[in-house]
Amino acid sequence: MASEQSWKTKYQQILKEAEQQERQSKEQRELLERMLVRTSVASEGQRPELDRLLNQLRVDLRRKTLNAEKWLQLQEQIDRQIALLDERAQIPREPATEKPVPAPETEAGIDISDQDHRLLIARRVGQLLSQVLEQVTLEPPAEAKAKELQQTLLSSIDWSTLRDSLKSVSELLILAITRNQRELEAFLKRLNDRLETLRVHFAQQSESNSSRKDDTEALDQEIRHEIDLVSEDIRGSDDLEQLKRSVGQRLDQIGNALGRFKDKESRREQMMAEQLESMQQKMAAMESSSERMQEQIRRERARAMTDLLTQLPNREAWQERLHFEYSRWQRYGHPLTISVIDIDLFKRINDTYGHKAGDRVLQLVARELQGRLRATDFIARIGGEEFALLLPETSMSEAVTVVDKLRGYVEKLPFHFGGNPVSITLSSGLAQLVRGDSEDEAFDRADQALYRAKATGRNRVVAN
């Protein structure tokens, strides 16, 4: 009974973890849906029919009516509209009588050429795909393909290549949305099958116990019956020899009954031993499967809480740790300071040296910051080039000293790109929690201090 209760406890825990994974899958799906909405909005204004299809896609997202087959049809319709745009772009234009004014290369909202608009859309999708890769788990081949697509969207200027890449992105999104759901359904099915095996085993045990009880009662009745017959023979017989034969026959009957019972009991014991061995094997398999699933859940959670580029905790992990430290600060009242850190002029690095150089800067800065903090401190990457730092048991004056030292260390790092030295600096804003603060209010004050640091010249630390 204790063993059965132990297994119930274990599988209740497994089901709880499965529910957590389902919630994570839901969050990933919502992220992908937001990406689709942003992409569809950025793509509007080309053709009325294309706008109608993109609006239909957003309506489906709002209604939560994901239908992979329907979306593939919708994708084909969108592809046809994009092909029509390509044909329109290839139609020769009349020679201009005056020197044309070049279209400005700016963001949406300004009159730009169709080609520039398409390239801008591709770049935005590439950036959004980068965010998706940080949050969503894909199979290794699909993840490699997604990274290849990201590079194509960010660097290619060939529209036909970009159009094929955008189509592949939609296929990857559908794959990512359905993958975790399929994994969860498969795990729950295996769990249900194995629990059904346990139920059958316990039913067989109950049936065997019932059979043993019936056989024992039948043996008891048979022995009592033969003993009663022996008593009657003794009372009614005057012939000693006849009495001996009669008693001998009754004893033989009792012996045969005991033999039959013993044979049944042996068969029962053998069957129970086989069932027990089978159940031990099945329970070992269930234990192994449970451990694998728990390990997978732990890996998925660690992945979901980690920024893949810098290997620092991400925004979700930051919110969780901030809530924990805020609760501890409320309980004990020990000083707690928040710092928001931003790499100065990071866009210029990307524009001048490329995204690979920008990624390398983020990785080196993250490693430098994390390597110089205490074990009790907590740093996370919460945005493109933005980091957030929690300093428990640290007053404002102490925190300013710590963060300013970090700023100095980063400033002295020997960054080189293409053989040229590049200066990398940080700006930071700090806020110490005070009575009446909420988590968001304290963070907002640190963020406002960061903006003042940027506005007053960068490469400095400002306390709020």
Q: How many CA atoms lie within 13 A of 323 on its CB side?
A: 5
* pLDDT tens-digit map of 410-447: 999 888 877 778 889 999 999 999 999 999 999 999 99
What tens digit of pLDDT does each residue of 190-217 get? Answer: 666 766 766 676 676 667 777 777 778 7
What is the spatial distance between Cα 154 and Cα 83, in angstroms, rounded to a whole number?
21
Mean pLDDT calculated for residue range 222-229: 79
Three-class DSSP category at 106: coil
Task: Show the tokens assigned to 237.
Answer: 């017989």
Q: What pLDDT is stored for residue 111 in this prediction?
A: 36
Percent over 90 (pLDDT), the chain: 27
Query: Band of the pLDDT at 110, cuts 50, 70, 90?
Result: very low
Looking at per-residue confidence, does 64 or 270 come out higher?
A: 270
- Which whole number is the average pLDDT over 122-127? 66
Mean pLDDT of 349-378: 91
Express each pLDDT in 250-259 by its tens digit: 778 888 888 8
Question: Hey, which of 103-112, 118-127, 258-267 has the most confident mean pLDDT?
Answer: 258-267
DSSP state letters, 324-393: HHHHHHHHH---EEEEEEEETTHHHHHHHH-HHHHHHHHHHHHHHHHHTS-TT-EEEE-SSSEEEEEEET
User: 428: closest CA among 335, 362, 341, 322?
Assistant: 341
pTM over 0.75: no
Average pLDDT estimate for 28-48: 62
| Three-state DSSP class for residue 150 | helix
Q: What is the pLDDT of residue 54?
A: 76
Region 320-344 average pLDDT = 96
Taking 90 as the threshold, does the pLDDT of residue 399 lie above it? Answer: yes
Listed range (64-73, 252-261, 274-283, 317-326) with the worst mean pLDDT = 64-73
Taking CB atoms within 8 Å and a gap of at least 24, the contacts of 108-111 are 108/42
User: Quick one: pLDDT at residue 93?
Assistant: 43
Residue 174: pLDDT band (50, 70, 90) is low
> Looking at the annotation, which residues are catalytic?
385
pLDDT band at 236 (very low <50, low <70, confident <90, very high): confident
The DSSP code for 312 is S
Return the higher-pLDDT residue of 109 and 303: 303
Name which of 169, 171, 163 is nearest 83 in CA terms.
163
- Angle of helix 48-63 relative to helix 68-90, nearest 10 degrees, comes to 160
pLDDT at 277: 80
Among 69-78, 87-96, 125-134, top mean pLDDT goes to 69-78
